[in-house]
Amino acid sequence: MRLVRVIRSNPLVFSGVAIVGIFGIVAILADIMMPHDPWGYGQPFLAPSRLHLLGTNDVGQDIFSELLLGSRTSLLIGFSAGILAVVIGVFIGMIAGFRGGLIDNLLMGMTDVVLVIPALPLVILLTVYVRSNIWLIVAVIGLVSWPNTARVIRSQVLTIRQSGYVESARALGADDGWLMLRHILPNVMPLILAKFVLVVAVAMLMEASLSFLGLGDPSTKSWGMMLRYAYARGGFVRGLWWWYTPPGLCIGLCILGLMFISFGVEAKSDPRLKRVLDR
Amino acid sequence: MSRLLEIRDLHVYFDTPRGVVKANKGVNLEVDEARCTGLMGESGCGKTVLLLSILHLQQPGRMVKGSMSFDGRDITLLEEREMQHIRGRQIALIPQNQATALNPSYTVKQQLTEAIRVRREGMGSPMILSWRFYRPNADELREIEESLREVGLDNGETMHRLLSSYPHQLSGGIRQRVLMAMALLMQPLLVMADEPTTALDRATKVAVLELLRKLRQETTLMVVSHDLQTIRSICDYVAIMYGGRIVERGPSGEVLNNPRHPYSQILLSCQQRRRGEPLVVPSIDTLDLINPPPGCSFHPVCPRAMPECAGFEVTEKLVGNVRIACHLFTEERRNC
Amino acid sequence: MLEVRGLKKHFTIRHNPLVRLHHRDHVVRAVDGVTFSVNEGQIFSIVGESGSGKTTLAKCILRLYHATGGAVIYRNESVFEMNKREIIQFRRKVQPIFQDADSTLDPRHNVYAILEEPLLIHRLGDRTDRERRISAAIEKVNLPSSLLGRHPCELSGGQRQRVAIARALLLNPDVIIADEPISGLDPVVATQVLDLLTTLRRTSGITIVLISHDLDTISYASDRIAVMYRGKIVEMINSDCFDDVRHPYARFLKGIGSEVPKARFPESVHRLSHEKHEGCSYAEHCLQRIGVCDRTPPELRQVAHGHHVACHVFPGA
């Protein structure tokens, strides 16, 4: 298939997909793979051993199991927020670019307003009133990260709308819906994918920061929460590297993988580079 | 008449992921001083590659085989540094696309000044860092104006406006002339013009042709074009290319009025058809330059192909004053 | 069959007063009162240089632009007054072939998908029927069916233009409006494409409006030729008596005499100024201009049967 060929032809995308794919599988199969119950208490501050691969934390929970379960939360937040942001961004960008005129001005004005809303302080503010849970975080991240996507999509749609093939399809009698779905959307798809992956990365980082600041959902295990507890309960001070290093490493690795995909896909959507990559 | 440029059996290949593209395979060409040579052929026949190879600008293509000598000097294996002395100052190229050949962020005056400076001081001049680099002194300004007048941009009032214009403010014809003026400022021995008249409308084309005709009196010219009118009106010697090879070359009167190679006949008849005349065009689609057909590359579509066309490589044969690469002809007697 | 009456399309170029105080909005008269009619089965050519408004004219006829004034009549119906359903029918019967086939084919679709598109838009036929029609169309334009799986970037220029023609043919149109179908093609390929169009006219009786800047190449293929200059038709003539052209500009294009308009070059240092001309728009370049040329624009008048000229030097018969 075309997608498979693209992935295999580009080592950057391939490694990115591999990294994110492994984390994805872990997140899905976490329940089976976990050697211990990450919520169960036991002997605290154990060093890595055969029984506890990465040791235990301050209340004796198995860090390896926490890590596996945490990947689920982190990826869930990342991907949900990514989907939310991209759906909004693509919708607004396509409408604005395709319709033009007043609608374009209104939508882009709105985009500019949202663009300046800082996500982190907004979440901090909201958690004062609402009890923090992951869906709140997803909603906030999703609702503030779409403007960038919308702008990029709009500008791309503006060029595609002018292109010969859209015009000739219109002359064949195609209506707006047809043009959007059959010509414009497929041509902005690589861009959408690239932007989606970026938003996912940003969302994962933001989740980690929020959790680290103590604004995360305490009833879930996530990499950010693990870091927070490692910091708050003396993991850093005592030099228990097996406590704070793995979640940090996982976040970094996961984002690296996403970035790889994004770069590769973006290069592919650049028409000047595309010719080269298509060969 | 002395020989200015001589190309022998030139092969230029491009390595692509799909295979080796043989853009030029065995080109022989002589350019005599004060003569205007025309290269005709369709896109993909290798004519632009040939021009660029003369300047060693064919990268990423590789010169695989063959030799070139310019002004009595072998330039086949010349170092990059020495080529820089030849480019522009001895062989000037008027590039194909006038829309992009000028730097959009400098005015006409600045770009022409640059040409003068490069001619006079060479690439390594410390002047290039000076903020005065693009400011011509009075002599240079006079020379610039002179060169623009030479290409037909003479008008006391508009000259000032033209000099301070940026390329995008100019029409295609004017840009083409500015490029010519730039080439002439270098006072080269040989001027090569790549498709000087394509993408120009009729009035501009007529004027550019006029100019090229004038230029021909003063310097040696080499013109690449697929347009019959351009070639016919300025060239004394014509070479017709197909599939990386020159299939027919000779004095322009003979080649253009009485083409002998089947491809030349088709190419030329396409452009001088009368109304109601029957069609003799076989379906020529892009030639596969990676895996060209064996033997003569034209034989799969040639209306007069013979069995031996596929079997043997063609070599140039002298028939009258014309050199033809075709199995239909033999050196001694003229076939059909 | 197709009639254009006094068609006008003006573009207004607005200058942002905050950025450029001293520039006023100005109007570009891309198409300025064009009238002609095309008979069934005719090849009608419109010739003019770049910037003469040919492409704008084509897009107005197809209702891709909203014309400023005038009317286009197709089979006794006004195109500009058609409702949504009628315009879809109109677009089925009047097909465009655009300049630069390279960009009119969606790079993400293969040839089959490109050719299937018009059938899908108009919901014609089922799967097997579409397949049959596509293979028939591709045969009509002399392309091998092995090309169907390829993408446009894998085709040569001539092949792309043929795919564009095949796409236009799939809906069995009455009229094809071909905008510069051969520009950018090599002479041999261009000849093939033109031959294809003339053959189609012969075999299927399609009416063709051919738009080009290259008079020499298309004159032998067409029945009637209109020469455009700055948004106006300056001469209209049957092509079998094309050697009789009268208008100085048409004569210049035809290469009759050495009428190179000298005044052109210093003036066009900066791109065409679009101010309205008082008189004939060609007057400043015309070697035969007389006093009246600067004052009143000439009307298109009949000088012989089927021969119209807009020039004061050649008044009507």
* Residue pairs spanning A and B at CB distance below 8 A: 3
- CB-nearest to B201 from C50, C157, C266 is C50
A103 near A44, Cβ under 8 Å? Answer: no
A279 CB neighbours in chain B (<8 A) are 16-18
CA distance B329 to C38: 50
Q: Do B202 and C216 touch (CB under 8 A)?
A: no
* Average pLDDT value for chain A: 83
- Please give the backbone phi and psi of residue B115, each rounded to the nearest 5 degrees, phi first: -60, -45
- The answer to whether C195 faces chain B, any CB pair under 8 Å, is yes
The number of beta carbons lying within 10 Å of the beta carbon of residue C66 is 9
What's residue B186's pLDDT?
82
Helices (H), A29-145: 30-33, 63-99, 101-115, 119-129, 134-144
B207 near B22, Cβ under 8 Å? Answer: no
- The answer to whether C264 faces chain B, any CB pair under 8 Å, is yes
- Give the predicted TM-score (pTM) of the model: 0.76
B15 CB neighbours in chain A (<8 A) are none
A66 near A34, Cβ under 8 Å? Answer: no
CA distance A278 to C277: 51
CA distance A262 to A275: 18
The pairing of beta strand C301-304 with beta strand C94-97: unpaired
C141: nearest Cα among C115, C110, C175, C123: C115
Q: Do A173 and C95 touch (CB under 8 A)?
A: no
B192 near B36, Cβ under 8 Å? Answer: no
Q: Do C167 and A165 touch (CB under 8 A)?
A: no
* Residue A59 or residue A149, greater confidence: A149
B330: nearest Cα among B310, B311, B312, B316: B316
Q: Which residues are B224's β-sheet partners?
A: B39, B194
- Please give the backbone phi and psi of residue B39, each rounded to the nearest 5 degrees, phi first: -115, 120
**pLDDT tens track for B297-310:** 888 878 888 888 88
The shortest C-alpha distance from A164 to chain C (Å) reads 4
Look at the block and give the residue holding tokens 């959507």.
A269
The shortest C-alpha distance from C160 to chain B (Å) reads 11
Q: Do A187 and C107 touch (CB under 8 A)?
A: yes
Mean pLDDT of A52-61: 78
- CB-nearest to C261 from B152, B203, B284 is B203
Q: Which of A156, A159, A165 to mutate to test the interface with C (most CBs of C within 10 A)?
A: A165
Q: Which of C84, C91, C119, C121 to mutate to test the interface with A (most CBs of A within 10 A)?
A: C121
What ipTM was reported for this prediction?
0.73
Q: What DSSP character marks residue C299?
A: P
- Whether omega before B188 lies within 30 degrees of 0, making that bond cis, reads no
Buried b (16+ CB within 10 A) or exposed e, B46-85: bbbbbbbbbbbebeebebeebebbbbeeebeebeeeeebe
pLDDT band of residue A218 (cuts 50, 70, 90) is confident
What's residue C268's pLDDT?
42
* Residue C168 or residue A216, greater confidence: C168
**pLDDT tens track for B320-336:** 888 888 888 876 554 44
What's residue C23's pLDDT?
59
Look at the block and give the residue holding tokens 């065009």.
B281
C217 near C269, Cβ under 8 Å? Answer: no
Long-range CB contacts for residues C248-253, cutoff 8 Å, separation at least 24? C248/C282, C248/C286, C248/C287, C248/C288, C248/C311, C248/C313, C249/C282, C249/C285, C249/C286, C252/B202, C252/B203, C253/B202, C253/C47, C253/C215, C253/C227
> Would the CA dihedral through A20, A25, A28, A31 be positive or negative?
negative
Buried b (16+ CB within 10 A) or exposed e, B316-330: bbebeebbbbbbbbe
> At C221, which amino acid appears?
A
DSSP reduced 3-state for A101: helix
pLDDT band of residue A272 (cuts 50, 70, 90) is very low
- CB-nearest to A165 from C91, C92, C105 is C105
**pLDDT tens track for B233-285:** 889 999 999 888 899 999 988 888 888 888 888 888 877 765 555 555 555 55
> At B71, which amino acid appears?
D
* Residue B215 or residue C21, greater confidence: B215
Rg (CA), chain A: 22
- CB-nearest to C260 from B158, B201, B206 is B206
CA distance C315 to A229: 96
Q: Do A167 and C98 touch (CB under 8 A)?
A: yes
Find chains touching chain B: ≥3 CB pairs under 8 Å. Answer: A, C
Range of weakest confidence among A19-28, A229-238, A247-256, C171-180: A229-238
Q: Do A169 and C121 touch (CB under 8 A)?
A: yes
* Residue pairs spanning B and C at CB distance below 8 A: 95
Q: Which of C104, C161, C175 to mutate to test the interface with A (most CBs of A within 10 A)?
A: C104
Q: Do C188 and B274 touch (CB under 8 A)?
A: no
- The answer to whether C150 faces chain A, any CB pair under 8 Å, is no
Which residues have C-beta within 8 Å of that of residue A279, sequence separation ≥ 6? B16, B17, B18
The residue of chain A nearest to residue C119, with distances taken between CA atoms, is A172
Instruction: Please report, rounded to a whole number, the percentage of residues in chain A having pLDDT higher than 70.
Output: 94
> Would the CA dihedral through C283, C284, C286, C287 be positive or negative?
positive
Q: Give the H/E segment covering residue A13.
A: helix A11-28
The shortest C-alpha distance from C299 to chain A (Å) reads 33
* Residue A164 or residue A93, greater confidence: A93
What's residue A30's pLDDT?
81
The chain B residues in contact with chain A (CB within 8 A) are 16-18
pLDDT at A279 over 50: no
The shortest C-alpha distance from A279 to chain B (Å) reads 7
The shortest C-alpha distance from A275 to chain C (Å) reads 9
Long-range CB contacts for residues C240-244, cutoff 8 Å, separation at least 24? C240/B275, C241/C304, C241/C307, C244/C304, C244/C307
- Please give the backbone phi and psi of residue C230, each rounded to the nearest 5 degrees, phi first: 45, 55
Find chains touching chain C: ≥3 CB pairs under 8 Å. Answer: A, B
The residue of chain A nearest to residue B16, with distances taken between CA atoms, is A279
| String of DSSP letters for B112-167 | HHHHHHHHHH-TT-GGGGSTTTT---HHHHHHHHHHHHHTT---HHHHHHHHT--G
A172 CB neighbours in chain C (<8 A) are 91, 95, 117-118, 121-122, 167, 171
Long-range CB contacts for residues C199-202, cutoff 8 Å, separation at least 24? C200/C140, C200/C165, C200/C169, C200/C176, C201/C41, C201/C43
Q: Detail the DSSP E strand segments found in chain B.
A: 3-16, 19-32, 36-40, 62-70, 73-74, 91-94, 190-194, 220-225, 237-242, 245-251, 317-319, 322-324
- CB-nearest to C269 from B162, B206, B270 is B162
Q: Do A178 and C121 touch (CB under 8 A)?
A: yes
The residue of chain A nearest to residue B19, with distances taken between CA atoms, is A279
The chain A residues in contact with chain C (CB within 8 A) are 163-165, 167-174, 178, 182-183, 186-187, 275, 278
CA distance C130 to C121: 12
Mean pLDDT of A45-72: 81
Range of weakest confidence among A74-88, B80-94, B230-244: B80-94
pLDDT at A273 over 60: no
Q: Do B275 and C240 touch (CB under 8 A)?
A: yes
Residues in chain C predicted with pLDDT less than 70, given as ranges, are 14-26, 256-278, 315-317
What's residue A88's pLDDT?
94
